Structure 1
Amino acid sequence: MITAALAFAGVAMLINMAPGPDTLLVVRTSVTQSRQGGLAAALGIITGCMGWGIATAVGLTALLTASHLAYDMLRICGAAYLAHLGATALWRSRKPADPEPAEQTTDPASRLAAFRVGMGTNLLNPKAGVFYMSLIPQFVPQGAQMFSTTLLFTAIDVIELAAWYWLLSGAASALSERIQRPAFRRRLEQITGVAFFGFAATLLTDHS
């Protein structure tokens, strides 16, 4: 079991570090709303991953591959949500950026909103569910109990994500503090807005 867990941890870390909408959201929120906002978004993403892991353990994510209708419905909703995030980012880029983002760190409403966005981005992405359902069984040792092993591997993935997002949010926030120009944050909103639209288009055209 230890060998299988270590192998899964290595593969999962490589996948977790790959650029995607979740990573982009943490970076963007850390820059525009400070590190606390980025960590709140990360917590929402991690909560979504825990939900996918539990769903995998009880067999619910099998519906995503067994039912094309269920997969397509979630895929379309996810694409629409990413497009909404992209449009919101582009709209914000039209406004003057707040030169004092640190003031937002004490705003619970902003952190709660970041948490909801993070969780929504993850839960509305059917690829996240397919990731758990397709990857975890490959590392479950023969004879191991599927339910408990799935939860163990989910815990490993969540711990890795927490560590990765902690480092990522810190780096993004530090960069924002060094570059205080409002134009930098406006340009970041523009880049992330276009990127979210790109992720939405990719998800919308995915028929796997």
Structure 2
Amino acid sequence: MSTDAWSLFLLACLMLNIAPGPDLVFVFSRTMSHGKKIGFVASLGVGSGALVHVFAAAFGVSVILATSATAFVMVKYIGAAYLVSLGLKAIFSREGTILRNGTDTKQVNPWTVFRQGVLIDVLNPKVALFFLAFLPQFIAHDASQSSAQIFIQTVILGFIVIAVGFVVETALILTAAPLGAYLRSNPKIALWLDRSFGGMLVFLGAKLASSDQ
């Protein structure tokens, strides 16, 4: 790609990654509720889920979601149900994640958070359609390009999109972690923090369920 094309690509990556969505809400909520370490685990989770879609686009698997309304709807509703279930679990929590003497009263398994992040992305068909529509715009398609070269270009560009997302999420984590630690020292605020983030996930789940292909 030319310098102008790279500049446009990176700018588009940045704008798309700072747009509020399930990924940012999940990373932000886990950081506010459990601190910086869990925030980065959440970020790695959603990034890994996005990577699945990158390879799906490179192999042409994502075309199924683009051409089959049934497949799109099935994945969409499963993903929406998962977001809503995570949100409801937080909303109906009897106690928030309180910070006492530098330790959370409700410990969370990092592997659980990572798995949740992966599933949030993998079960969102709109992420698949995004990579399928966005990446080819910056790939050179001509007679001299072999399918292997196109595959490699797709994967590289997908990695860059995810890397930019990680940079954005890192800035979010470093900003949210100290704020979350301060707010979680108050039990009432901690409870309502968890419930508020739960409400956001329910809203995003409902929004995904009502979205079109």
2:12 is matched with 11
Q: C-alpha displacement at 1:96, in angstroms?
A: 4.6
Task: Give the gaps of 5 or more residues in structure 1.
Answer: none
The structure carrying a bigger helix percent of its residues is 1
Match of 1:182 among 178, 187, 200: 187
Range with greater deviation from structure 2 (141-150 or 24-33): 141-150
| Counterpart contact for 1:33–1:102, Cα < 8 Å | no
Match of residue 163, structure 1, among 158, 162, 167: 167
Separation (CA, whole Å) in 1 of partners of 2:74 and 2:7? 35
Q: TM-score, normalised by structure 2?
A: 0.89
* Rg larger for: 2
Q: Which amino acid aligns with 2:206?
A: A
8 A contact 1:54–1:151 mirrored in 2: yes
Provide structure 2 residue ranges, at least 5 long, that are not aligned to the other structure.
none
Q: 1:70 to 1:2 in 2, by over 3 A?
A: same
| Identical amino acids, percent of aligned pairs | 27
Residues in 2 aligned to 1:42 and 1:101: alpha-carbon distance in whole angstroms = 26
| Higher alpha-carbon deviation: 9-18 or 133-142 | 133-142
Residue matched to 2:208: 203
Residue matched to 1:115: 114
- TM-score, normalized by length of structure 1? 0.91
The change in CA–CA distance for 1:54 and 1:96 in structure 2 (over 3 A counts) is closer
Verify the 8 A CA contact 1:86 1:196 in the aligned structure 2.
yes
Aligned residue for 1:51? Answer: 52
| Aligned counterparts of 2:38 and 2:65: Cα–Cα separation in 1 | 31
1:48-68: CA deviation from partner (whole Å, max 9, x where unpaired): 111111111110111101111
Does residue 124 (structure 1) correspond to residue 131 (structure 2)? The answer is: no
**CA-CA distance at 1:10 after TM superposition:** 1.1
- 1:176 CA displacement: 1.4
> Could you tell me whether the CA contact under 8 Å between 1:97 and 1:183 is conserved in 2?
no
